[in-house]
Amino acid sequence: MEPKEKEGPNKPKSSLKQRISGHYYLWMIALFSLLVFGMIMISLSMGYICIPMGEISGILVNRLFGNMDMATPTAETFTAVIFDIRLPRILTCAAVGAALSISGVLFQGILLNPLADPYTLGVSAGAAFGACIAILLNLGATFVSVPAFAFAGACTTLFFVIFLSYSSSSKGSVSGLSSNNLILSGIIVAAILSAGISFLKFIANEQVSVIIFWLMGSFASKTWSNFMVIFVFLVIGFIIAIYFARDLNLISLGEKAASSLGVDIKRITLLLLVTGSMLAAVCVSVSGIIGFVGLLVPHMVRFITGPDNRKLLPLSMLVGAFLLLFADTITRAVLPHEIPIGVLTALIGGPVFCWIFKKSRLA
């Protein structure tokens, strides 16, 4: 009877621990949602024209409820600055950070490698190559062309990488795709595409400055159409990712174990690779190359959520939006001269990632 008496009290403790864990996760979601909202408000107030928080709140409420009867010339100026200049850029930046983070989670979950991200498979290089061709052909005037070329370049690169890495005799691989082969193929293809981008810059003549500045990444002069494109693809990508999050968890057990539990490895791997590539391609087409967001954010969030992708995906999306918006606010409103956001994320993310990697190796 004593073992049964000991087991009885343990069951409530276990369920209580699970409830606390669930509450802790919900608190983290609420916290980072508030941080993202607060960062949006702070970013709206900062810049060449400083706008008080009270004015911002009043303008947003008036615009939301359509009550602009008490508008003054100052309020009209602030309204134009907020809705025509700052808010499209801020929301686009947050959406790009969220999309890159989701893409990083998908690639790391599929490849079972915390160092994987869209750049590992050469997807970002393919998107950049396609977008550079659109800019070189002077197709940037029609906004649809640059994302279309970027997406085509990313998908072409992805399928070529899969073609190079696929082997029906891959050891320990049910799908014929091994993580090592995918990463090595991605590095090879990315190196070739990097040379191709350099050649495009060489023949670009007067457009070379446009390509170089675009490749460094920037959210300057973003419009509502930019945000809507990112937002639509972000919603689609998040729905697909969260729907297959359980299958992604099973894949982490190993391909044979996942296959024995009913997971269609080939179909889900290809679908999630295309989804991650789609998110990375759209981000590159709108903002240029922004590194380390898709690599660092999922790695950092795992310290909070653990490896469960059902919890990792939503929180990574919020953390990615907050961090990229924070970095963009610094480069836009704090530094004396605006520098490309891709340069800032590389300068900050590189040393931080080296520290995390070294610490994990020592552990």
* pLDDT number for residue 287: 87
Rounded CA separation 318/95 (Å)? 9
The reply to whether 37 falls in a domain is yes
DSSP3 helix / strand / coil % (the chain, rounded to 5): 80, 0, 20
The reply to whether 8 falls in a domain is no
* pLDDT number for residue 17: 43
- Answer whether 0.95 is exceeded by the pTM: no
> What b/e readout covers 122-134, taking b as 16+ CB neighbours within 10 angstroms?
bbbbbbbbbbbbb
DSSP state, 142?
S
Flag residues of the chain having pLDDT under 70: 1-21, 66-72, 140-144, 167-177, 356, 360-363
pLDDT in tens, 135-172: 888 776 555 677 788 888 888 998 898 888 876 555 54
The reply to whether 9 falls in a domain is no
pLDDT in tens, 94-144: 999 999 999 999 998 888 877 777 877 888 889 889 988 888 887 765 556
Q: Provide the CATH number for the domain around residue 198.
A: 1.10.3470.10
* pLDDT number for residue 344: 84
The reply to whether 357 falls in a domain is yes
The reply to whether 312 falls in a domain is yes
The reply to whether 4 falls in a domain is no
Please give the tally of structural domains in the chain. Answer: 1
The reply to whether 199 falls in a domain is yes
The reply to whether 55 falls in a domain is yes
Range of the domain at 212: 16-362
* pLDDT number for residue 32: 94
According to DSSP H, which parts of the chain are helical? 2-45, 53-65, 73-80, 87-111, 123-136, 145-165, 179-203, 208-216, 224-243, 245-251, 255-260, 265-287, 293-305, 309-329, 341-362
* pLDDT number for residue 122: 86
Rounded to the nearest 10 degrees, what angle do helices 265-287 and 145-165 cross at?
Answer: 140
DSSP state, 334?
I
Type of residue found at 289: I
* pLDDT number for residue 144: 61
Rounded CA separation 72/313 (Å)? 44
